[in-house]
Structure 1
């Protein structure tokens, strides 16, 4: 009967040990790979949430701008500090203190500019019958490694996480040349020159997939109009309340400004201070002739935490 000598036994044992070590290394490598992939995915999602928060902050600034200047938007009147009243920029809203100082004009993830637009409808409407709507979106699509926008590919993980964070007012184009649709399917924006990309085309059309944005809540402004005949009377006094203090989000006690202004003669202005003790701010209003009535227009507005 053939028997193994000690040397053979040692070689056989070492062979089994080597196999166990190799299997252990393979298992460790597989576990490490999936752990790394999970970590990278978590990092991607966290970055997408930061991007969503930036979009939301700019949306909130656009919403504040629209509400404060609703009368001028309906009338098509000039708004101090804004070149195109229906297409304000991040820099303009920052200068007006609708956005925190130092707000970036570019998206954090893809370094793309923001596009903002407001609409007043129906055409020719007056205060009390108009609807002001609007949105902000990141102009360029969010691409994954190796993606090329002209092929219609994009990073679904990033887009999905941004939409999750934005909630019901978020929207995206999830297929090339398709309309922009909300995450909940409650509204959509039809492709038009407002959404056309200046340099990217997919199959000859300028509507790449992977574009994300957020709308403001549509509203109907009542405005402040003078009683009496025509435009000869002064604008009555009034108030503008719950103005967000820059950089606070405007929620909770001590993060808002309240203003009360007196009657203002047609063509004149009045400047008043914030009435709250925890914030500082200044409001200047003008009395203008709009559509046959004397109407208050916001000339400038500041609000900050003390």
Structure 2
């Protein structure tokens, strides 16, 4: 049996960095993904005045529930979509003036639905170039909260950013979503928010719209393990299924895993591989036979 240690999930790492920065106390993130996107996110937090200390296998973030420690900051988001969408939302909960810019590629990606939603909540947000795109300035005075309607048909990251903002508002946040893509990523967000102490309710209307009700609870710091990236693990699981006599185990991706991409091993099981999912990890073994399927 081959044991493969997969780097952490980028999606989980980015959400954990936001939640840690917003929490009361110091959070330790175990085995975070080290990549251009996550390092850019951590540097953005530091520019905003959050204390971030990085070690080889653990990052320590001193949370600031009241918002960024800096009164003003210039934040460069690199190519990171989560950085470019999550950090302005986090900054809006504080008090100060913050400018965000990104790479030429990221400047082309839309931000409009999130900008409109933040403005609807009273955030003074101004785009420096093309409307609905980076760069942008956030003149933050805290966020009261309230109710809004969001079209998340372009990206679930808009919804995720607003959901994570909810506990930091004065009165809580009700978000009615008319369209939604990538729902499994929203489920990751909700599970992680609850792990950090948030309270979220969900209602579904007859018209298919859903409303998330986020209470103004704030967040509590904790030690949080970043689970391995399920997309990356899928290549090793596939290799195991292809080679007779081979088995591969990925620890940290088990029955409680957040990522929908772990469903790939269920497909391998339907094709004929032997799949075992436990509380501590997942193992795929070749049976020597693979069947095609739809």
Task: Identify the TM-score tier after normalising by the shorter chain.
Answer: under 0.3
What TM-score do the two structures reach when normalised by structure 2?
A: 0.25
Report which of the two has the higher share of strand. Answer: 2
The structure whose RCO (Cα within 8 Å, separation 6+) is larger is 2
The structure with the largest alpha-carbon Rg is 1
What TM-score do the two structures reach when normalised by structure 1?
A: 0.25
